[in-house]
Amino acid sequence: MTICMQEIAGIRGFRIAALVERSVDVYVSGQARSLAAQGRLVPLAILLAGPGGVRAVAPDGTALSRARVEGLAPGVWERFARGGPGGLPEALPGP
């Protein structure tokens, strides 16, 4: 499991990015000589930046404090506040 900030998108003076938990599970069967894998992305927070500053909401729309977001991924609030549109998703240090 890794927590990462997805690519920052910009539109009409606003920036948005998702903070997600991603994981990949791989299953190997030596007898059947088969391999299976599955990936998963679970949204944790949506970060928004605009003229009023940075704010975050949970996937259900509930407001999240900076402390709560930083508890998920230390440093992510500041990275998002400094970042511009574009860039690749990046893995972040966990709590």
Distance between CA atoms of residues 45 and 2, nearest Å: 14
pLDDT per residue as tens digits for the range 43-88: 999 999 998 899 999 999 999 999 999 999 988 998 898 875 544 4
**Do residues 33 and 15 make contact, with C-beta atoms less than 8 angstroms apart?**
no
Whether this model's pTM surpasses 0.85: no
pLDDT per residue as tens digits for the range 6-31: 888 888 889 999 999 999 899 888 88
Sequence ranges of the domains in the chain: 2-84
Q: Give the length of the chain.
A: 95
